[in-house]
Amino acid sequence: MSRSTFELRVPQGLDIADLKASIAAEYAIREEPEQVLERTYLDSFDWRVHGAGGVIEFHRNGRRGELLWSDRRSGELLHRLPLAQPPGFTDSLPAGSLRDDLEPILEMRSLLPLLHIHSRLSTLRVLDDEEKTVVRLELDQADYRAPQGDMGRESAGELGTRVHLRPVRGYDGDFDRVAQFCNKLLKKAHGGLFEDGLHAIGRRPGDYSSKLKYKLDPHERSDQATNEIQLGLLDTLETNIDGSRANLDSEFLHDLRVACRRTRSALTQIKGVYGTDLVQRYKEEFAWVQQITGPTRDMDVYLLALDDYKQSLPEFLQEALEPLRGFLEAHHKDEQKTLSRELGSARFHKLRKEWRDFLQAPVPRVMV
C-alpha cells in the first residue's frame, strides 16, 4: 500500500461524530482544536496555469494568507509564499522564484478566482503505547462557493467530508493498519476538492479556449455547418464581454475582437450560404463592433509594448518615455469607459440576440 497522503470520502449517512467514535474505539487518538481554512483557486481565464500542469491556491487561515502552487499530477508543492491578498497580475507579486516561474506562463493575463472552498478541519492524531503520533487523519468538512458573478449551475453548496490520511516518518506499519481500517468505513475519493467544486458550479478545467475546435460532418448541409461555426464564434465573443467591460486583463478584449473578425471573415468567405441582404447587414453590424472596440485595444497594445520600447533605448533615455505612459493610461481610461458603455448598449444586445436567434433557427428545407 502507498504510504503517501491519500484521500477518502465519508459516505452519506455516516455522521462525523460516529466516525470519530469508530476510530477511537479501535485506536488511541487525540483530537486537535478545529480550524477554519478558506481556499481560493486561481488561474487565468484561459487556464494557463492548468495547461502548464499546475494548480494555484490562496489560503487564508485567520489573518494569515499564503499562495501555494502545486503540480496537479503529483501533488508536489512547487512554491509557497506568504501574501496578504490573492494576486492578480504577476507584477503584483514580490520579486522571487514564484514570480519568475509564473511570468512566462501568464504573460499579460491576470489570475482570477475560479472557486472558493470553506473548510472546517479536524485533525485526529493516532497514538501508540508511548503516546507518540504515528498517523494523522484530517477530516475536511467542505463547502463550495462560485466567484461573484459566475453563472454556474449552483452558486454554493456542500461538498461533503473527506478524510486525508497523512503518514508519519518511521511508522509505515501503523499507517498501513489505519489505512486498511479506514478503507472499510469510507469510500475512495476519485476527484479532489478542486475538481468536485468546479463540477458543482458547472465548470471544468480548460472549459474556455479561443482556439477553433469544430468537428463538422462532411455530409451535412453548408448552412448547418456555417451556423455551427458562427455560433461557436458568437459564444466566444459573448464569453469575453464581462471581462472586457471590467478590464480584467487585455486578453478579454483581444479574444472578443478576434471572434468578431472571424465572424466577418466567415460572412465574406463562405459564399452562397446566406442571403445577400443578411450578409451585408451583419457585416456592417460586426464592423461597428470592431469600430467601438478598436481604440481601447490600441491603448492596450501600446501599453503592453511600452516596456519593450524603453529597453530598446539607451539607458539614459529610458525614463524619458514615462510621461508617455501616463498619457496612454489616461486615454485608455477614457476609451475603456466608452467601450463599457457601448458593450452594454441596446444596439449591441439586439445584435447578439437577433444573430443568435437566426443561427439557432431550423434551417429551411431548401437553401437560400
Mapping DSSP to helix (H, G, I), strand (E, B) and coil, where does residue 39 land? strand
Domain with CATH 1.40.20.10 in the chain: 222-360
The predicted model gives 220-235 an average pLDDT of 94
pLDDT at 191: 79
**In angstroms, how far is CA 14 from the centroid of its own chain?**
33
Residue 143's H or E segment, with its range, is strand 133-145
The predicted model gives 265-274 an average pLDDT of 91
Mapping DSSP to helix (H, G, I), strand (E, B) and coil, where does residue 329 land? helix
Cell of 51: 495547461
Q: Decide: 268 and 280 in contact? Cβ < 8 Å.
A: no
DSSP 8-state secondary structure symbol assigned to residue 301:
H
pLDDT at 150: 57
pLDDT at 152: 45
pLDDT at residue 306 is higher than 60: yes
Domain with CATH 2.40.320.10 in the chain: 6-200
- As a whole number of angstroms, the distance between CA 21 and CA 294 comes to 65
pLDDT at 219: 87
Closest listed residue to residue 225, CA positions, set 212, 239, 210, 215: 215
pLDDT at residue 166 is higher than 60: yes
- As a whole number of angstroms, the distance between CA 1 and CA 178 comes to 11
Mapping DSSP to helix (H, G, I), strand (E, B) and coil, where does residue 41 land? strand
Task: Calculate the dihedral angle through the C-alpha atoms of 173, 174, 175, 176, rounding to the nearest 10 degrees.
Answer: 50
Question: Residues with Cβ < 8 Å from 78, sequence gap 6 or more?
Answer: 54, 69, 70, 71, 101
The predicted model gives 116-145 an average pLDDT of 95
Class of domain 222-360: mainly alpha
Closest listed residue to residue 299, CA positions, set 247, 239, 243: 247
- Residue 62: half-sphere exposure toward Cβ, Cα within 13 Å: 3
pLDDT at 78: 96
Long-range CB contact pairs, 284-292, < 8 A, 24+ = 285/351, 285/355, 286/260, 286/351, 288/347, 289/260, 289/348, 289/351, 290/257, 290/260, 290/261, 290/264, 292/338, 292/339, 292/342, 292/343
Region 6-200: CATH code:
2.40.320.10
